[in-house]
């Protein structure tokens, strides 16, 4: 197993957990990169800035296309080369976020996000995905709303649909997705993630302290 992704709604703690798992891999002296979406490479970060800018007013289909453009650039700049070099890749958000946010949140549906991913990603899929589940109202409270990005300002109804999307994804892809409760402590979640990675990938990672 080389490709691990972290998913979840706003304020779920997925970025924190991605960084902690990355450090656990580094501590084990394994060649690992940590990246994110949207963005993740120099050119893809330009698209990220457009997507998160609260002054933009994109149509949902425009958003979907921009996310896929960013992913295409990111995958070819960073993910495919790293996997080819047998590095471990940990990504904070990937295609499941596009399905949850655009497919469910914006009600585009599942067909178009899946079609675009299949057209351009050459079968690229995570080996293991951790979905951190949190009540949207609590997640939005946790998020940095002093300087909200465009997605954080979309409201509770939108983020409730996003959560429903992630829960359905987790249920439909049980062989790949591990659903975790984000209201546990950071340390307990990290230990569970490390235990899961060790079991699935036959490793002996140690939780960071």
Place of tokens 């963005």: 39
Q: What letter does residue 98 receive in the DSSP assignment?
A: H
Q: What pTM does this model have?
A: 0.95
- Please, which residues have CB within 8 angstroms of residue 109's CB and are 6 or more apart in sequence? 103
CB contact at 8 A, 148 and 10: no
**Extents of the domains making up the chain:** 3-201
Beta bridge partners of 158: none
- The pLDDT tens digits along the chain (209 residues) read 799 999 999 999 999 999 999 999 999 999 999 999 999 999 999 999 999 888 888 999 999 999 999 999 999 999 999 999 999 999 999 999 999 999 999 999 999 999 999 999 999 999 999 999 999 999 888 876 656 778 877 889 999 999 999 999 999 999 999 999 999 999 999 999 999 999 999 999 999 98
- Look up residue 134 and give its two tokens: 């949190």
12/60 Cα distance (integer angstroms): 23
119/101 Cα distance (integer angstroms): 20
CATH number assigned to the domain with residue range 3-201, chosen from the 4 options 3.40.50.2300, 3.40.50.300, 3.40.50.10470, 3.30.70.100: 3.40.50.300
Q: How far is CA 93 from CA 3, 199, 202, in A?
A: 12, 22, 24
- Of 111, 66, 110, 83, the closest CA to residue 5 belongs to 83
């Amino acid at each position: 197993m080389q490709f691990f992704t972290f998913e979840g709604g706003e304020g779920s703690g997925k970025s924190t957990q991605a960084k902690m798992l990355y450090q656990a891999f580094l501590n084990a002296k394994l060649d690992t990169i940590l990246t994110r979406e949207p963005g993740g490479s120099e050119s893809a970060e330009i698209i990220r800035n457009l997507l998160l800018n609260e002054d933009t007013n994109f149509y949902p289909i425009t958003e979907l296309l921009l996310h896929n453009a960013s992913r295409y650039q990111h995958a070819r700049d960073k993910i495919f080369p790293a996997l080819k070099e047998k590095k471990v890749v940990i990504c904070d958000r990937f295609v499941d976020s596009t399905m949850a946010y655009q497919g469910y949140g914006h009600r585009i549906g599942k067909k178009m996000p899946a079609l675009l991913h299949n057209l351009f990603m050459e079968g690229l899929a995570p080996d293991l995905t951790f979905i951190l589940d949190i009540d949207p109202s609590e997640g939005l409270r946790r998020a940095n709303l002093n300087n909200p990005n465009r997605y954080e300002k979309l409201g509770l109804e939108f983020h409730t649909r996003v959560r429903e999307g992630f829960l359905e994804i987790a249920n439909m892809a049980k062989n790949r997705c591990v659903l975790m409760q984000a209201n546990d402590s950071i340390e307990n979640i990290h230990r569970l993630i490390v235990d899961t990675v060790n079991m699935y990938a036959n490793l002996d990672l140690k939780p960071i302290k």
